[in-house]
Amino acid sequence: MSTATQHAFLVRLLFDEELRDAFFAEPEATASREGVPPDDLEALKTIDRTGFELDAAMRRDYLMSALCRAYPLSAAALGSLPGGPRRLAAFLTSPRLLADPSTRSEAFGEHLARLLSFGTLMPPVWDGLVESILAFERGLVREAAALRRSVERGDPVPTVKRKPGPGPMALPAFSFAVELPVPTALIKGALDQVSAESAWHHISSGRLSSQRLLTVARADPLPVTLLARATVVGVPVGSVVDVTHLTAELNGRRAAFFAGLDGTRPLSDFPRSELPALERLIEAGLLETR
């Protein structure tokens, strides 16, 4: 008897809904198909299904709540589609569920991207909106993970400078910009004011409407640019690095402008009409002069 095989199968059953259905319908056949010897199966055959499903549901809700926290809008959008919650929760069968939290969060973003690429049966304009939301949320996760890895490697913790200086202006490290066709307030409004903390609760309730988001996607464009920067909160303790994001939502399409900040031009080089906005971004810690 291999406790390792038995234990591994038990853990898979806790996270894989399809495997669970198959197992409780035909325990011997399912175990055999999965390479679980009869001896290892004995202790699992007497499990009360109702109690097991309760445990699996609690675990699923906890983990999905944690995963969706980093992707509230894109997860809510994909979760609003028919079968959405189940497709989102399919991530729980991924081996990367058991990776460290940063890697797991990035992997969940890839899962959402894959769901989008499989086709949503929604018009392309809906897909395009969700793609841009997902790009922003994945950017937040990516930069936070990169900042954590940098600190864990022993690199100096970047300081947030908020005063304009004479040196050239640049986008600070661990920053990025993404354009959306409409303001985030409209997107959140269409998705029932979903938040990081409430995302999975909203999704699993089945009350979100993909059609409301489609209305927003089909509306006259009101493009915005989201600028974000990952920063360390407090002092890192060992491997515990607390990261947050400074963010700003600007009217218009400005991603190319920020991408072009190559750290060679001082603030004074920019048109006077733009200086107040650029100075505000510097004071907010989202741009810096070197």
Partner 1 sequence: MLGVGASLSFGVEPDPVALAASPGGPSFIEYAGPVEHGLHAASTKALQDLGIPVLYHPSCLNLCGPHPNPEHWLTQVDAHVKAVGSAWLAQDVACCFVGNTPGYSIQLGYFVPPVQTRDALEEAVDRVMEVRRRVQAPLLLEPAPVTFVAGDMDIFSWLGELARRTGCGLLLDAGHVVSHQLVAGRELTEGLDALPLDQVVEVHVAGGVIEEHEGRRYYKDAHDLPVLPETWSVFRYLLEHCPNLKAVCVECEGSVADTVLPMLRKTRERVALGAANEALRLKAREELGQ
Residues that bind partner 1 (CB under 8 A): 1, 3-4, 6-8, 10-11, 14, 43-44, 46-48, 50-52, 54-55, 58-60, 62-63, 66, 98, 100-101, 104, 237-240
Nearer to partner 1, 67 or 213 (CB): 67
Sign of CA dihedral 281, 139, 113, 257: positive
Of 159, 83, 73, the closest CA to residue 119 belongs to: 83
Nearer to partner 1, 44 or 219 (CB): 44
**Percentages (nearest 5) of helix, strand, coil residues in the chain:** 60, 10, 30
Q: How far is the CB of 254 from partner 1 (least distance, A)?
A: 37
d(CA 280, CA 285): 9
Nearer to partner 1, 99 or 275 (CB): 99
Cβ atoms of 192 and 208 within 8 Å: the answer is yes
Which structure tokens are listed for 241? 């690095």
Nearer to partner 1, 236 or 266 (CB): 236
Q: How far is the CB of 26 from partner 1 (least distance, A)?
A: 18
Of 82, 72, 129, 138, the closest CA to residue 111 belongs to: 138
Q: How far is the CB of 30 from partner 1 (least distance, A)?
A: 15
d(CA 179, CA 120): 22
Nearer to partner 1, 89 or 190 (CB): 89
d(CA 48, CA 101): 31
Nearer to partner 1, 51 or 119 (CB): 51
Query: Helix (H, G, I), strand (E, B), or coil: what is residue 181?
Result: coil
Cβ atoms of 186 and 216 within 8 Å: the answer is yes
Which structure tokens are listed for 59? 């675990």
Of 203, 249, 244, the closest CA to residue 74 belongs to: 203
- Structural Rg of the chain based on CA atoms: 23
What Cα–Cα distance (Å) separates residue 96 from each residue in 143, 225, 228?
Answer: 19, 32, 26
